[in-house]
Amino acid sequence: MATGYAQIFLWAMAGSCAMAANQKAEVKLDFGANALGVFKTTATLQVVSNPLLDSYFTVNGTKIPNPIHKAAWKSLRDLGADHVRFQPWFPYPYKAVPELDAPEDGKPTSWDFSHFMPMMDDFMENTAKQGHPVIWNIGTQPCWMFWGPTTGQFGKKYCPYPNSSDVSDFGYGTRGVRAFLKDPSGKTMADYFARVTSYLVNGYMVDEHGVVHRGGPAYNFSAANGHIFEFLNEGEHYYTTGEYNNDYDVTVPAIQSALLKKAPSFMGIGGCHNGYWNWWVMPNCTTWLESFLNQGNHKSTDIPLEYASMHYYATAHNRSDVVAYTRNFFGSADKWLVDLDGNIAIRDRLSPKTKLALTELGILMVDDMTKTFGKDGGLPDMYFNAAAAFFAYTMAQVAMRGIDIACFSQFVGSPPIPEWGIEDQAFPSGAMISWETGLGNAKYWVLKLFIDHIHKGDSIVEAPFSTTSVPHEEPVQEHMCEAVGSWTYNNEVTLTCNDPDARIDYIWADMGLEPTGQCGTFVPNVNCSNHNLATLWANAECLGRHTCTLRKASETVSSFVVCPIAILIKKTVEPFTQQLTVQARCTGTKGGHTSAEYTGNSIFSVGFVSPDKKSKKLLLVNKEAHPIDVKISGSDLAHGDVNLYIVDPRSVSRSSAQGIRVEKWKPGLFTESSFVVTLQPFAVAVAIMGEDNSANAASVLI
């Protein structure tokens, strides 16, 4: 018999924020049901090098203190997260590469850790030195290890980099192509990483000329203490699987030899992606997992395959369209989870002992790298709550699948802040803390919610729910229209007539920039369009059919083929900004719909039970941009107080020193062991029954 039983009644009523009554629905939770699994996932985050984490800024040659430096690092410390991933990334070469120039005979080497160490020290002080294992991804390879046209070898300067550590250069990491590595064996690269890690862990290293460099921090970075070294990031130097396996096989033993008993565990692949992204070529997870996890593809059976890492980002077609966040974020996630299941199956077949990690999991808007926005990052307050709800949903889903580590990405990002000398935009949509205060936004506080209240060893209990739509009439639109890009995850859209007897009798398509006009009367963008050719293709695929699927060409292909003159010669169009736009019409009077419309449930819920069965928890996520009334009832509610910990627009959006509020109920307040809670737009809540209230004061805001 079930030991506990709870029901959540949610009556789903189609509508929007303008509805007279909130949306409602129905869900059941049986705490005594068979467990779906055990929660073993480390909920954590990624920290990428960024000027906002420096102690000072340089403005017009003058150093000024960073006003959010202390608050930002305190925010990281206060999370108390294990396995935070630190990545000194290539856009800031001085902070990512401690040997920027190639060694030359007869000259001292260029080894210099003075720009590399300050951020690394702050990171380790607020993570590892507080007793938490970490992940290092020191994955930027020095440009001088490569030759060829991308390095500038035949131009004015070979492997250029900024003349200041405060200046970014997003081109640095793309200047080397693995096929043009000067030492194709990978040994020179392996020796470089061995020297870097030796300086950090042993406290010294010996350079290419035999000179000993001392003064390193001698961090404890051993596998015995849970630390992990992740090799490279996203195949950024255009790696093939064979090239990556070779370099991994050479580098890992080099680091092990340098550190001996102080060596960490190792993580391979460095992030792959199954969807379509905008900015650069990323390894495909299916292909790379098949290769990396096959021990026969490595030089020795002694090569450790302890971890393999994947990345996943959702995005949106319009960064400020709050209502569309549901279809863009959660629609993408539902498609990605199917691919994730396939990746897990590959691991189970080839290397079942290898742990899988998501070292980057988050949302990055597609125009973060192609446009510049003001102090608000071009993002409405509600964006941060939507991204937080996305994280809670995906975090629970990957935990149900047994993923070992999930790093929400990323700790800090920002629009340009000229008064602080920050001239470049750096992924403001990824930020988990405010670029103005250093305090956590809604994403940060949802991560804190998981760390504090969902614990390893908890049983995961299914909370099945159903929705019932209230019939309502919406005017039938003559045309169905859709924009296809990375926000649709799989770069495709299916068009379907609502009437089973209807057929598509008109279709127009364009693979250029976003057209002008409204759905049904689109006009090609004068700056970039191929509507004539695209329409011919779409007609061949769809005309006369009840349903059809159109797939957009990859970003790399479409960006340079559709408008090559505008991109490469005139430079009037930014690469990777094109989309597939479709407008179509069906015969009859019932119209049609596209696969981009979200068909999932409006809420998500799942239960957790502590190993001693004393604490029962219910996670609730509102995936909509409007409130939802949730009626919770069950016998467990009558056995003691219930604490409901909530992250929603009432508690935090952009910045808060305490973004978790709590609502408390006592048994005497219930009617028939039930209560109703209103989940605000994109709210995340954890209801806990049987909790020791004295232990949770630090995370409570009344």
Among 590, 624, 651, residue at a domain's last position: 590
Tens-digit pLDDT profile for residues 296-312 = 999 999 999 999 999 99
Q: Is 16 a member of any domain?
A: yes
Quick one: 121 and 17 in the same domain?
no
| pLDDT at 407 exceeding the cut of 70 | yes
Mean pLDDT of 22-46: 85
Mean pLDDT of 555-577: 74
- Mean pLDDT, all residues of the chain: 89
Quick one: 411 and 513 in the same domain?
no
Q: What is the DSSP string of 152-216?
A: TTTSSSSS---SSTTS--TTGGGS--GGGBSSTTSHHHHHHHHHHHHHHHTSEEE-TTS-EEE--
Q: Is 465 a member of any domain?
A: no
Quick one: 694 and 647 in the same domain?
yes
Of 572 and 270, the structure prediction assigns the larger pLDDT to 270
Quick one: 226 and 242 in the same domain?
yes
Quick one: 181 and 162 in the same domain?
yes
Containing domain of residue 244, as a range?
42-456
360 vs 352: CA distance, rounded Å: 22
Q: Is 462 a member of any domain?
A: no
Q: What is the 3-state secondary structure (H, E, C) of 6-57?
A: EEEEECCCCCCCCCCCCEEEEEEECCCCCEEEECCCEEEEEEECCHHHCCEE
Quick one: 428 and 498 in the same domain?
no
Quick one: 549 and 658 in the same domain?
no
396 vs 685: CA distance, rounded Å: 13
User: Which of 306, 467, 347, 335 is CA-nearest to residue 394?
Assistant: 335
Quick one: 553 and 514 in the same domain?
yes
Q: Is 595 a member of any domain?
A: no
Q: Please report, as a single letter, which amino acid is at residue 648.
A: D
Quick one: 512 and 646 in the same domain?
no
Quick one: 413 and 439 in the same domain?
yes
| pLDDT at 161 exceeding the cut of 50 | yes
Q: What CATH number is associated with residue 73?
A: 3.20.20.80
User: Given this model, what pLDDT does residue 568 score?
Assistant: 74
Quick one: 30 and 56 in the same domain?
no
Phi, psi of 451 (to 5 degrees): -60, -40
Pick from 180-189, 238-247, 357-366, 625-634: least confident: 625-634
Number of domains in the chain: 3
Q: What is the DSSP letter of 225?
A: G
Q: Can you read off the two tokens belonging to residue 403?
A: 């993923």
Q: What CATH number is associated with residue 674?
A: 2.60.40.1180
Quick one: 406 and 520 in the same domain?
no
397 vs 234: CA distance, rounded Å: 23
622 vs 321: CA distance, rounded Å: 17
Give residue 332's pLDDT band: very low, low, confident or very high (50, 70, 90).
Answer: very high
Contact by Cβ (8 Å): 414, 432: no
